[in-house]
Structure 1
């Protein structure tokens, strides 16, 4: 067998002011054909898993390029077309192939393209023809469009949020692909539109139980090969916004259709109950100060670079400073200019510094402090599950009992190694202020005495009922109370 694999991924917050060009991909991951490192990024696990699978089977794996950019705003049209055409040319050169296995995200939006993944998949299908297997792994925070469903045989989606299972789901993707290519099964994809948009953390009920049910059904139900939830991505202003259920069966569309609808209606019945309780910056600091021991993690959940925001909001930090709170470590504030100033000053320097709150309204005001530059790290990175996440050149500064990590490559706070990479012991601080909606939970919950979810400022459009969408559908909950009427 000859199988082609490649990856092209980012998550687009169409409300974000931060445009994406080729340099953004190069800062996160841009690997030419055959040059992908041994460790996968969030959306490139089909390549690394495919290497092991094909080596074991004695199949030929033809690797195309792999590109991943950290979430931000619209991708430049020329950048998307360049990266797309690079993969398509590699696929054309690899023909004939028996299968195509891709790593995608599913929430990319480019200038002139509301559905880049649909565009890519349709062009892949046009090259390989109707009989070649085409499949992909997707992030659940994506948009499942009709164009994608028509072009692919099946999708496998991360089940967990935080996405600790992206490698396991790539293994599932390949397991189904291998059996299909051997002629043992015929994957058929069923999709149900839940007519809603919500946030579904799997670290708490009721989504924890719902996902456990999916795992159990995959094991117990004959002909069921895979079950997935497309959560949707509420910061993407696209026509097919929304939550959907995917059921993959072995040539049993009727069963898949019925199961997808049953699960979808069950999910809809739980709407509005999934998200964790959130407090403002005043209550968050109150809770952290009152805690008998640390570290207390305050998650600045809506200034999450993983959702396309800048990660430079200062609302919570300003509250800590105003109240004279110390024994705090902040990871991170994105400010490439401030990092450059610290790099020029050098370790041990004491300098006046303005940092943060440069990207957008409703993110607070810049912080002005006389700081000490404690440590400088080039190309810093943190752990994220079985992978690593870069956060670029970084500076650890301190003032008035507060430590702040300034970074030059936007990245959410995945793991406590964010702090240790800079020389800070995260367990030694009373308060850890981080930026993430829920990806932090798996790792930080292991060291935290308490976790406080804080909604501060408005860097991210997190209220769909009032978000000023221009393209998104309006016939789903919570835009309307009963979309089934």
Structure 2
């Protein structure tokens, strides 16, 4: 009997179509690139299904063929040649591995390239053409993605992380692989049902009402063996694509009526949350007033829109400059993307005192560069920070100190995930009065244990944060908040 074979690979990024930071092949190589057989033992956010295949299929006697795994830090449009090269690399690897009994992919779901509004749909359709109708295709998605008919039509199983911050990416990968194996073995027949919520909103699950909603989804999955998986596709408001928006995805074991009913009911419930899911996003001055009123620290100030995880540069200085103007000290900021400043610090050497211009280089709305005489207190080649079970590359990084402020400069764009971004440089984050981070919500769970207070700051950075004024050109239907009542709008 022929040994059962699974082909597994990962191709992922999140595309901010408004961002000036374009994405090419080097962007993928700078962030994460593992050729076949080179994937490390630890997962990345979007390659977790590959690790789950090792854990769950290889011990069961399956031949696990690992293809390329690559991820680019979120940015602007992908160069067309880059996308086609990476897509065709995976397809050629799959062709070489055939015949296969199962395909398991780690995707993101918000990838857009020049000429391709739906990269994942294009990839999945081409995989389907290769393997035929009988081989199950399964993929894990980030909830900040776009659920398109092409993807639902080409795949048998799509499972998204439930949590934002995405603390459950490995757990959902294991769910995906268990269901994919059961599909390949003929134990289940998954059918996917979707509901368009006609909205786009920030939906953190670290607070109510989304926290309870996710708990409800878990309970529903346990309540009926026909309910295999439930996912919320939050949508990604920085992606100008036709299917932008929030959707419910319910996977049942050959129960289409149940799936459609549940997707609609949950989608209507989710729609009722609109306008009250995000935490208070304070303007800079109000946020700093609140921070300075705290009697002890650390107080975490999250610069939510200057977040490289949303595809912008992450070199904004607006919040830092406001703190400096107030004379705030005992401040640590991380991370600030400035590869040129990092090079200057490495050239000067540890403990050097140098005049340095840093930050504020990417666009006019990021704030002006900061000019200061700084002390170089830390230099780390290829620094990394933690994010759950994974390690996130910061690239060559420098710790600079001036005027009572510590700044972590990085040569790789990366959002702030974990206090280890400070400690890897030699800074004790728990000992600082104020911590400034660049992240919308992924920082939350890791910083809660050390934070006296967490304040979300809307510093007005370059992220397209207001759907009502973003000026989408490709959106194919009315959604809230662009339209107040999208379900009854023509």
User: TM tier, shorter chain?
Assistant: over 0.9
Q: RMSD over aligned Cα, in angstroms? A: 0.8
Take 2:335 and 2:360, find their aligned partners in 1: how far apart are those partners? 12
CA drift at 1:54: 1.6
CA drift at 1:458: 2.9
Match of residue 232 from structure 1: 235
What do the CA deviations read for 1:184-241 (whole angstroms, capped 9, x no partner)? 1111111111111111000000000111000000001230000000000000011110
Take 1:478 and 1:323, find their aligned partners in 2: how far apart are those partners? 36
Take 1:270 and 1:399, find their aligned partners in 2: how far apart are those partners? 44
Match of residue 371 from structure 1: 374
Take 1:147 and 1:20, find their aligned partners in 2: how far apart are those partners? 24
Match of residue 2 from structure 1: 5
Q: Is the 8 A contact 2:316 2:461 kept in 1?
A: no
CA drift at 1:290: 1.1
CA drift at 1:80: 0.6
- Tell me the secondary structure at the aligned position of residue 282 of structure 2: coil
Take 1:306 and 1:452, find their aligned partners in 2: how far apart are those partners? 18
Q: Is the 8 A contact 1:297 1:451 kept in 2?
A: yes
Take 1:281 and 1:273, find their aligned partners in 2: how far apart are those partners? 21
Match status 1:187 vs 2:219: no
Match of 2:291 among 284, 288, 293: 288
Q: Is the 8 A contact 1:364 1:457 kept in 2?
A: no
Match of residue 350 from structure 1: 353
Match of 2:68 among 45, 48, 65: 65
- Tell me the secondary structure at the aligned position of residue 484 of structure 1: helix
Q: Is the 8 A contact 2:157 2:180 kept in 1?
A: no
Match of 1:144 among 142, 147, 167: 147
Match status 1:51 vs 2:29: no
Take 2:476 and 2:349, find their aligned partners in 1: how far apart are those partners? 51
Match of residue 26 from structure 1: 29
Take 2:220 and 2:311, find their aligned partners in 1: how far apart are those partners? 34
Take 2:477 and 2:151, find their aligned partners in 1: how far apart are those partners? 21
Match status 1:110 vs 2:113: yes
Take 2:351 and 2:384, find their aligned partners in 1: how far apart are those partners? 22
Q: Is the 8 A contact 2:145 2:235 kept in 1?
A: yes
Q: What are the residue-to-residue correspondences of 1:458-473 with 2, within 5 Å? A: 458-473=461-476
Q: Is the 8 A contact 1:474 1:480 kept in 2?
A: no
Match of 2:212 among 209, 212, 220: 209
Match status 1:279 vs 2:282: yes
After TM superposition, what 4+ stretches of structure 1 lie above 4 angstroms from structure 2?
none
Match of residue 126 from structure 2: 123
Q: Is the 8 A contact 2:135 2:184 kept in 1?
A: no
Greater shift, 415-424 or 31-40, is seen at 31-40
Match of residue 448 from structure 1: 451
- Tell me the secondary structure at the aligned position of residue 122 of structure 2: helix
What do the CA deviations read for 1:418-452 (whole angstroms, capped 9, x no partner)? 00000000011000000000000000011000000
Match status 1:401 vs 2:404: yes
Take 2:461 and 2:333, find their aligned partners in 1: how far apart are those partners? 19
- Tell me the secondary structure at the aligned position of residue 465 of structure 1: helix
Q: What are the residue-to-residue correspondences of 1:257-268 with 2, within 5 Å? A: 257-268=260-271
Match status 1:322 vs 2:325: yes
- Tell me the secondary structure at the aligned position of residue 288 of structure 1: helix
Q: Is the 8 A contact 2:46 2:108 kept in 1?
A: yes
Take 1:311 and 1:193, find their aligned partners in 2: how far apart are those partners? 32
- Tell me the secondary structure at the aligned position of residue 364 of structure 2: coil
Match of residue 218 from structure 1: 221
CA drift at 1:47: 0.5
CA drift at 1:289: 1.2
Match of residue 96 from structure 2: 93
What do the CA deviations read for 1:297-326 (whole angstroms, capped 9, x no partner)? 000000010000100000010011111110
Unaligned 5+ residue runs, structure 2? Answer: none
Take 1:246 and 1:408, find their aligned partners in 2: how far apart are those partners? 38
Match of 2:174 among 152, 171, 176: 171
- Tell me the secondary structure at the aligned position of residue 418 of structure 2: coil
Match of 1:419 among 419, 422, 425: 422
- Tell me the secondary structure at the aligned position of residue 58 of structure 2: helix
What do the CA deviations read for 1:352-386 (whole angstroms, capped 9, x no partner)? 00100110121111000010011111100001001
Take 1:16 and 1:343, find their aligned partners in 2: how far apart are those partners? 29
Take 1:339 and 1:90, find their aligned partners in 2: how far apart are those partners? 38
- Tell me the secondary structure at the aligned position of residue 105 of structure 2: strand
Greater shift, 176-185 or 310-319, is seen at 176-185
Take 1:198 and 1:457, find their aligned partners in 2: how far apart are those partners? 17
Match status 1:254 vs 2:257: yes
Take 1:334 and 1:52, find their aligned partners in 2: how far apart are those partners? 36
CA drift at 1:472: 2.0
CA drift at 1:153: 0.6
Instruction: Tell me the TM-score normalised to structure 2 length.
Output: 0.98
Instruction: Tell me the TM-score normalised to structure 1 length.
Output: 0.99
Greater shift, 343-352 or 473-482, is seen at 473-482
- Tell me the secondary structure at the aligned position of residue 128 of structure 2: helix
Take 1:250 and 1:17, find their aligned partners in 2: how far apart are those partners? 44
Match status 1:80 vs 2:83: yes
CA drift at 1:474: 4.7
- Tell me the secondary structure at the aligned position of residue 362 of structure 1: helix
